[in-house]
């Protein structure tokens, strides 16, 4: 197995279920109209004779057809629900397998499902959602490129404010240089000088089609020779120090802020032990 199995869009099941429900509702509406007409036809004082008998026969046949269609749509609807649940269960199970992508140091760590997060501070809401959206991609980035998951998670949180201030799908604040040919966004940002003062600048940042593309590009960036010490780091403290010293960010407290995030929220739980 060379990559994690995943169903990319469960919406196809939801859409199909919605469609069958709408069709079934249309039949229910037709059933109400049928009952009204049947009441009139059954009233001998309003409608009688051979024509009335023929109409009654036609209505009865129509009613039987509608009953069959209702049963069929109910069966199809339940089938779609069962298939959707089966796919979700299979996807969750498959996502827990050990990836066979070899990291740069030869180690492979388990791509833990989001439910595996130990959550030492009982995070909830958008913060927990953000960790869940990054965790598996961070593990895959380690297996493929050797970037510690704790560093990936901490940088994503710090650079994007838990995803609330990301630049498009760029959650790592990566600027777009002259060699960048992808999408970009211009934003105001603060840079800290060596004396601790700040300056506001307008910079061009990379943007991505998806969050997974952002995680992938971040990992690729850190495999450059400039960040060699990040990849060679033995633990998150070394990695957090190395990424700052290599010039990833100008903040003088960047290393300390990353380490604090890792330790406060247990982000090293996916790192190789």
* Domain map (residue ranges) of the chain: 11-94, 114-270
pLDDT of 255 > 90? The answer is: yes
Q: Which segment of 4-8, 13-17, 36-40, 269-273 scores lowest on mean pLDDT? A: 4-8
Q: Which of 191, 209, 232, 256 is catalytic?
A: 191
pLDDT grade, residue 85 (50/70/90)?
confident
For the stretch 25-78, pLDDT in tens is 787 887 777 777 777 766 666 666 667 677 777 778 878 887 888 888 788 878
Burial 66-93 (b: 16+ CB within 10 A, else e): eeeebeebeebbeebeeebeeeeeebee
Q: Which of 140, 159, 207, 217 is catalytic?
A: 217
Percent helix, strand and coil across the chain, each to the nearest 5:
60, 10, 35
pLDDT of 218 > 90? The answer is: yes
* Whole-angstrom distance, CA of residue 250 vs CA of residue 244: 8
The answer to whether residues 174 and 206 touch, using CB atoms and an 8 Å cutoff, is yes
For the domain with range 114-270, which CATH number is right: 1.10.287.3510, 1.10.3720.10, 1.10.530.10, 3.30.160.270? Answer: 1.10.530.10
| Residue 19 CA from chain centroid, whole number | 24
Mean pLDDT score across all residues of the chain:
83
Active site residue 217: yes
Strand partners, 31: none
Active site residue 57: no
| Residue 169 CA from chain centroid, whole number | 12
């Amino acid at each position: 197995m060379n990559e994690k199995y995943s169903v990319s869009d469960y919406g196809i099941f939801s859409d199909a279920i919605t469609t069958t429900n709408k069709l079934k509702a249309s039949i229910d509406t037709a059933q109400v109209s049928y009952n009204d007409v049947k009441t009139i036809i059954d009233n001998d004082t309003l409608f009688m004779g051979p024509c009335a008998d023929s109409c009654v026969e036609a209505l009865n046949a129509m009613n039987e057809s509608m009953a069959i269609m209702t049963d069929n749509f109910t069966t199809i609807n339940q089938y779609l629900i069962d298939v959707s649940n089966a796919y979700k269960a299979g996807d969750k199970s498959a996502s827990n397998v050990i990836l066979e992508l070899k990291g740069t140091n030869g180690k492979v760590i388990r791509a833990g499902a989001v439910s595996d997060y130990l959550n030492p501070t009982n995070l909830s809401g958008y913060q927990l959602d953000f960790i869940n959206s990054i965790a598996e991609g961070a593990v895959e980035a380690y297996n493929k490129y050797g970037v510690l998951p704790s560093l990936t998670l901490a940088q994503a949180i710090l650079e994007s404010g838990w995803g609330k201030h990301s630049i498009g799908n760029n959650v790592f604040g990566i600027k777009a240089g002259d060699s960048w040919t992808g999408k970009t966004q211009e934003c105001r940002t603060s840079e800290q000088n060596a004396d601790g003062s700040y300056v506001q600048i307008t910079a061009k940042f990379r943007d991505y089609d998806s969050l997974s593309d952002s995680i992938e590009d971040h990992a690729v960036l850190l495999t450059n020779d400039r960040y060699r010490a990040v990849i060679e780091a033995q633990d998150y403290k070394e990695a957090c120090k190395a990424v700052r010293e290599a010039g990833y960010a100008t903040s003088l407290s960047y290393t300390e802020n990353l380490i604090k995030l890792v330790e406060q929220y247990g982000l090293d739980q996916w790192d190789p032990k």
